[in-house]
Amino acid sequence: MSKMIIVTAPSGAGKTTIVRHLLETYDNLEFSVSVTTRPQRANEKEGEDYYFKTVEEFKKLIEEGAFLEWQEVYENQFYGTLKSEAERLWADGKHVIFDIDVQGAVNLKKVYPERTLTIFVKPPRLETLLERLRARRSESEESLQKRINKATVELTFEKKFDIVLVNDDLETALMEAEWIVERYVFDKKEMKILN
């Protein structure tokens, strides 16, 4: 049975870097592209990083029941996981890896609890996270403050996830992520040692 690996974290903790590394490392993992209404960043590609939709288009998808889960992460800024995306990847015999926000991860795990592993990536300290967010320089001060406020709350969710991966040193975090994925995808019994 194909499995789901959900990697979640507050903004700036390193989840996207870890997910990209795992995708480059394992041929049997495929990325589930989420839908969002937030503006597309300069380095992002439609259909690769996200499916970018208007708020109206997103709400229409909600009405159609197209999502496994969705959230209004910030006011009028929606994110969601398409049912069709996961089903397409499973049909190809792939294990699906997700890079989604904390509340979305909690909700998605409820849909497929028996085939899902959740990994919560956290920084060693809140200050480290704040430094990383500021270093991005990709957002306005107002947007940055929203992310900081949200991240502070999201850090309190770590006990809701199967594994907590502290991203203090990136190379170490990447090796630990590989170990976690290998144990989960290939040997479920070994995974219990980590819990």
Read off the pLDDT band of 135 (50, 70, 90): confident
> Does pLDDT of 195 surpass 50?
no
Predicted local distance difference test score (pLDDT) of residue 26? 94
Distance CA 54, CA 105 (A): 23
H/E segment holding residue 85: helix 83-91
Convert the pLDDT of each residue in 68-117 to its tens digit: 999 998 889 999 999 999 999 999 999 999 999 899 999 999 999 999 99
* pLDDT of residue 9 exceeding 80: yes
What is the reported pLDDT for 194?
A: 40
Largest CA distance in the chain: 46
Q: What is the pLDDT of residue 186?
A: 74
Mean pLDDT in residue range 158-167: 94
CA angle 122, 125, 128 (to 5 degrees): 90
Specify the range with the lowest mean pLDDT, choosing from 9-18, 108-117, 168-177: 9-18
Count of other CB atoms within 10 angstroms of residue 2? 16
Q: Are 37 and 53 in contact (CB under 8 A)?
A: yes
21-to-18, 30, 83, 164, 181 alpha-carbon distances in Å: 5, 12, 24, 18, 12
Local confidence band at 193 (pLDDT 50, 70, 90 cut-offs):
very low
Residue 52 structure tokens: 């970018």
Strand order in the sheet with 163-166: 29-31, 95-100, 4-8, 116-122, 163-166
**Average pLDDT, integer, range 180-190:** 76
pLDDT in tens, 19-31: 999 999 999 999 9
CA 109 – CA 6 distance, rounded (Å)? 8
Q: Residue 61 in 3-state DSSP?
A: helix
pLDDT of residue 138: 64
Tell me the mean pLDDT in the region 3-24. 92
Question: Could you tell me the pTM of the whole model?
Answer: 0.84
**Domains along the sequence of the chain with CATH:** 4-188 (3.40.50.300)
Q: How far apart are CA 87 and CA 93, in angstroms?
A: 10
Percent of the chain with pLDDT over 70: 93
CA distances to 24, 132, 180 from 167, in Å: 19, 12, 14
CA 154 – CA 45 distance, rounded (Å): 27
Q: Indicate if the alpha-carbon torsion angle 12, 43, 179, 192 is positive or negative.
A: positive
Instruction: Kindly report the average pLDDT of the chain as a whole number.
Output: 88
Of 131, 126, 119, which Cα lies nearest the Cα of 176? Answer: 119
